Structure 1
């Protein structure tokens, strides 16, 4: 009986011991199982893991940056819009916002936050997850999307842990943070913190303030949900959560938190799509330049560079501020000019065309149809010509360009044929601005809107240049015959006989307005664009020397006829060529080839290309100076004199069209140009350290104003130049000259006509060596 009682007393102890052994077996078995699972995962049983080389050199597409002369990114070429930045360029408050919000014990763990993991298991994630920054980086770098099954997600989490631990072994904490910021996709083509800060706030990461940093860090939770463009309220709330976390962990004070939470988001969205943002036409030129350079300059292993993934840096001569001012000036004037053009077209039965037959109109529209993407695509689909033409007459929903619409984009319903006619009514324009001493192009505006009008009118487009060609005739006369701006010629009709220069019939140019009579100085003749004087000059020097001169100044002359009519601007020339040629005058007779790409570097900073300026002595510095002096007369008393004063101010668009709102007082040399039917308006303007050309006109020469009042270069193009220069002068950091053009020593040609009287200086003979 006692033995039985003794057994009963020992039984609970044995039972407890057995349970304890079972517990420890299960516990140790679980640990061994976890270790075994981790080993299997590390061996790649559950899917491949990156090797150590991959960890140290993760392969990612890096965008090629287009960088302005003032160090600003103005565009990118990319598959993924990612440009890495070093840790040193991340402001402290940006890093602090990340730590406070995503991983407060980041500097205390080795990839896995044990405390956070236990908390997540115990409370089933209701008090926050346990994913560390290292784990999140491993997910971004190396793991793929998985199915929704719990087992698969568990295996994926294990892989993330393993990779996170490896990352912690291989990299410093700062490197992990840097990689995380550089890798995350902030949406709207913003991959990485550099793109995100530039796209959402138009500034570099180092320039972000605390509120902006908090907004971007808030997007790490879910950038699709917290998209600033689609969900600004949610993004602001999320930003305020980040600010609260920063205050919780003593990165900012409560007072600072409260003040920052009250602020709006203050987005400054600057899209970096290929058809959006700044300098779109120039960026397309840069793409073509890079493609050509890549073909001729392979890597050391023989493979080709890829501008979409190799992370090249293309340093350009474009000044971001000047480019901005140029585009603003273009938009301001062209929007108003288009209003006036539309008003005048309401009474035009053949709008948007003038002075052509119905047959010619049909030909223009048919040609446009056959050049369209719609025609090409339907042709590739095997559609017949009749089917394609019929499709152009069916109404469809589309987005069209409009100055009055938000972002210049308007949704409407039109037939494709009507949309072609509509686009033919939109006036186009271009601007190029260049430093004549260095050849560096500072601003390049190839059109009014790259999204809708992709044809670049700076370099690709060629149009008749009108009277802007006349200074080259005058320069030839000065160079050959030592003529002075004060020399006089008769303003009477002048005929060059048939047979001379291969003329089939006599050539007798007429003056605009039919004004003749008296003697005029060369300075007066150029200032007022008197055709009869220009005809006399080209007959004296001959067309060939003029053609030879402009060829030396960078113009393509193979299609330029050796005829006296070129003196009045009949050749088709690009704005790119015109600015380069005019810069020769401002640069004392030395032509410097326009430059846009200064150097190219690879992602490691190795210089792959360095521009070497191309220069050529074309004319003497005396001839250049005298020609500049002639062109100063254009802005003093000629067709460009509206730059000097405020004149009449009548009309709905007085400030930029028919009025004279400009009051420049500094020396300006320039020349307006207008083609015969007002289809092309030009203005070439120069100050000592900047030459800028502007062209305005329709896509087709049949699209134009009916009168010279609106169709002349002084009305269509000059205002863009003036608005641009006003903005440049207002920015004193640009240091645009207001001084005199440099006068060479020992100028023997008289340029000050107030001291000139019938070839004499106040009645006295002027010695050849006399220097005014």
Structure 2
């Protein structure tokens, strides 16, 4: 008995011994596995430095002056980093309830969840914590298959525990939200909130937060877009809401009401060629690449605007930009409709061109064909010129611009050659708005639709200035000859003799209507009505060189020939430079170079660039104010008077001939319209004390224009955009656009009050006809 008992005890101790041996071996084996994983035996592991600074591609963000995101630059990852403090509570609660209920009670590995996963072979939920899932996204990659999955899991455990040592729980959650790809160029939670709901994460409602958290399971499968899986996405969202109720983040009643809601998407894709300020964003892309080239990192490496997560603080106001784009589209749609009406094949067999022979039109079309991207691509493919031309005359399906479509797209079938002619029928436009005291550009519209017309007319496009160039002539005359707006010159034919100012023959400009009134006109009246004969006399007195010098000092950089004809606006300029130049008048004679960027920061908030204003004293305060007073006459009794019109039924004289919109602007406005030969270009430069805005409208080719001056003048083509834009600005008082009078300098030495002259003349003049001769 004793021996049997002794033998039984020995066997029991043997079992115990082997149990502890096996248990210890298991522990040692597990430790060994973890050590091997940590040493990289199962694949490369992240270094300490990598854990401290995980490499994440971040998009560069353009931020408006009022704090809105205008757009981003990215290649594959449209990601903007958010700190934990910028994540709403309902979003964090939804994540924890769904993915890791004991998140705050473990150090990277959930022991209970792991044992449950082993016991039930994963049928009752996986064991991956938020930290492990982050480890997989950052350093491990996609889920492995077969036995390699277990090795991958070990790597995740090791990295998860390291992450927990290096980061707080809040930082890990923030990283988790920022890293994930939600599809449709929505990388990270901020992009996801903007793309799927058109709002910032802090504005997400509970059901919206639940939908985005539900996408963590599989953003490709649980995608809410109509052509993907909206039903599955809604079901998945409701699972998240159930989890939130289970862990008491929301009540059962709230859960039931939220689960009944539709997804209610506001899908707003963040694409490079769509959205707000597209032309400005493309200009800034070129500007930033140039800046990055000239301003390397401390280690000599260049900044990458697509990966380095720069924050670019711009001067553009998103509200004013929206107003500008709306004004452009409202007017241009109506103007284009009238242009199409006047250029039907019956009315104009050479439409859209005017006054051109068939040979000249063929030359334009052939040049456009050879300058197209399609021609360049086919040439690179080794196609001969003959083969390429044949392709250009073969019909194919394509999407073209159409004003009558909500998306401005129309699917059609036509030859590439026909599409070139089709696009030439559309009038183009450019608009820029700037604060003259600071040079801050507030709005930038380079065309009607960037997706279809990618040439930026604000900066890239140069066209003849027409009568908007005349203020440079008047400024030279007032500056050098001390003329005042009340001085007068005769409206008679005036010729500048041959060889004078470099002329080869006499130059005798005519007025736009070909007539001369024979009356004496004040400078204010002459500029208001763009009287060419008076402008010719002024440039003859001061010389073209003086005019060119003033224009150059006011920011016009292009070459200008020093000939008298520049007085009528033959120099080619762009809207960007003209707005900067006119800002000099509103800023008391000080030119401030237009600025678009005030500051650039890296992803850590370190300031990399700060703008330093570029200014130049060009005119005295007196001369600048006299010029403003002169240009106020344009809107008081000249070509810009329609800005003052009040709409009255059955009184078409008070109704804009194109848009039919009343402007009813009563505040002081200075401006100048401009129209070039054959109505090829229409301009309007308009100013109030703290905002200068320039608008140009014309065809891609100068042979594309209105036949009649009624529609082809600057007052009809460009001014309505300015009027609509300013009306929208004034409707929002927060923008602070001035309605005040322009500031008059103290001890003004130039007489701008013409009423005294009128009173003095009253005693000397015999008839009303004599009174008219002074141009009042």
Please report the TM-score for the alignment, with normalisation by the length of structure 1: 0.92
Q: What is the distance in 2 between the residues matched to 1:561 and 1:548?
A: 11
Match of 1:770 in 2: none
Moved more, 343-352 or 413-422: 343-352
Deviation string for 1:539-564 (max 9, x for gaps)? 22221111111111000242x12122
Deviations 1:590-639 (A, max 9, x none): 11111111122222222222111111111111111111111111112211
Matches within 5 A, 1:680-759: 680-757=681-758
Instruction: Tell me, yes or no, if the aligned pair for 2:60 and 2:306 is still in contact at 8 Å.
Output: yes
Q: Distance in 2 between matches of 1:686 and 1:227?
A: 49
Which deviates more, 612-621 or 217-226? 217-226
Residue 767 of structure 1 aligns with which residue? none
The answer (yes or no) to whether the contact 2:646–2:664 under 8 Å persists in 1 is yes
Which residue number in structure 2 is paired with residue 661 of structure 1?
A: 662
Kindly indicate whether residue 85 of structure 2 is the aligned counterpart of residue 88 of structure 1.
Answer: yes
For 1:639, the equivalent position in structure 2 comes to: 639
Instruction: State the alpha-carbon separation in 1 of the partners of residues 153 and 100 from structure 2.
Output: 17
CA contact 2:642–2:656 (8 Å) conserved in 1: no
Shift of 1:12: 11
**Structure 2 partner of 1:136:** 133
Shift of 1:200: 3.0
Distance in 1 separating the partners of 2:439 and 2:258: 47
Q: Against the structure 1 CA distance between its residues 493 and 203, is the aligned structure 2 distance closer, same or farther, given a 3 Å change threshold?
A: same
Equivalent residue for 2:364? 364
Which residue pairs with 2:771 in the alignment? Answer: none
633-642 or 476-485, larger mean C-alpha shift: 476-485
The aligned counterpart of 1:292 is 290
Cα drift, residue 211 of structure 1:
3.4
Aligned equivalents of 2:71, 2:558: Cα separation in 1: 34
Q: Report the counterpart of residue 174 of structure 1 in structure 2.
A: 170
Match of 1:246 in 2: 244
Query: SS at 1:276's partner residue?
Result: coil
What does the per-residue CA deviation read over 1:310-337, in whole Å, with 9 as the maximum and x for residues that have no partner? 2222221111211121112112222222
Provide the residue aligned with 2:402 in structure 1. Answer: 402
Q: Aligned runs of 1:232-631 on 2, under 5 Å? A: 232-346=230-344, 347-517=347-517, 518-558=519-559, 560-631=560-631
Partner Cα distance (2:732, 2:659) in 1: 27
1:671 aligns with 2:672: yes
> Post-superposition shift, 1:169?
2.0
2: distance between equivalents of 1:392 and 1:710?
34
Query: Could you tell me how far 1:429 is from its partner in structure 2?
Result: 0.9
Range that drifts further, 446-455 or 402-411: 402-411
Deviations 1:476-513 (A, max 9, x none): 22222222222222223222233322223322222223
- Compared with structure 1, are the counterparts of its residues 678 and 135 closer, same or farther at alpha carbon in structure 2 (3 Å cutoff)? same
Q: Does the 8 A contact of 2:528 with 2:634 survive in 1?
A: yes
| Cα deviation, residue 647, structure 1 | 4.9
Counterpart among 112, 120, 125 of residue 122 in structure 2: 125
- The 1:655/1:119 distance shift into structure 2, 3 A limit, reads farther
Of 49, 53, 58, which residue of structure 2 is paired with 1:57? 53
Is the 1:646–1:659 Cα contact (8 Å) retained in structure 2?
Answer: no
3-state DSSP of counterpart to 2:240: helix
- Give the corresponding residue for 2:770: none
Q: Between Structure 1 and Structure 2, how many residues are aligned?
A: 756
Between the aligned partners of 1:600 and 1:733, the Cα distance in structure 2 is: 26
Whether 1:206 aligns to 2:199 is no
Question: How far apart in 1 are the matches of 2:549 and 2:647?
Answer: 40
Separation in structure 2 between the aligned mates of residue 335 and residue 139 of structure 1, nearest angstrom: 52
In structure 1, runs of 5+ residues without a counterpart are: 765-772
RMSD: 2.7
Contact 2:117 2:126 in 1 (8 A): yes
CA–CA separation in structure 2 for the residues paired with 1:372 and 1:498: 44
- Do residues 101 (structure 1) and 101 (structure 2) align? no
Using the alignment, how far apart are the partners of 2:585 and 2:499 within structure 1? 34
**Secondary structure of the equivalent of 1:756?**
helix
Q: Describe the shift of the 1:255–1:521 C-alpha distance in structure 2 as closer, same or farther (beyond 3 A).
A: farther
Q: Deviations over 1:672-692 (max 9, x none)?
A: 111111111111110000001
Change (3 A) 1:665 1:762: farther
Asked whether 1:112 is paired with 2:109, we answer: yes
Equivalent pair of 2:335/2:659 in contact (CA under 8 Å): no
SS in 1 for 2:362: helix
After superposition, residues 8-47 of structure 1 pair within 5 angstroms as 33-47=29-43
- Do 1:333 and 1:656's aligned partners in 2 also have CA atoms closer than 8 Å? no
Superposition pairs for residues 153-232 of structure 1, below 5 Å? 153-230=149-226, 231-232=229-230
Deviates more, 1:252-261 or 1:588-597: 252-261
Superposition deviation, residue 27 in structure 1: 6.3
* Paired residues of 1:648 and 1:659 also in contact (CA < 8 A): no
Q: Give CA-to-partner distance per residue, 1:524-548, whole Å, 9 cap, x none.
A: 2222222222222222222111111
Q: CA deviation at 1:143?
A: 0.9
Q: CA 1:82/1:621 → structure 2, altered by over 3 Å: closer, same or farther?
A: same
CA spacing shift, 1:577–1:303, aligned 2, 3 Å: same
SS of the residue 2:674 aligns to: strand
Distance in 2, Cα, partners of 1:461 & 1:324: 22
Structure 2 stretches lacking a partner, 5+ long? 766-776
Q: 1:193 to 1:578 in 2, by over 3 A?
A: same
Question: C-alpha distance in 2, partners of 1:157/1:413?
Answer: 55
Q: Distance in 2 between matches of 1:234 and 1:331?
A: 39
Instruction: Decide which moves more: 516-525 or 425-434.
Output: 516-525
Q: Structure 1 residues 9-18 or 414-423, which shifts more?
A: 9-18
8 Å CA contact retained: 1:319, 1:443: yes
Return the offset for 1:391.
0.9
C-alpha displacement at 1:18, in angstroms? 8.8
Q: Could you tell me how far apart the structure 2 residues matched to 1:256 and 1:761 are?
A: 83
CA contact (8 A) 1:46 1:155 kept: yes
1:245 Cα deviation after fit: 2.4
Partner Cα separation in structure 2 for residue 656 and residue 168 of structure 1: 69
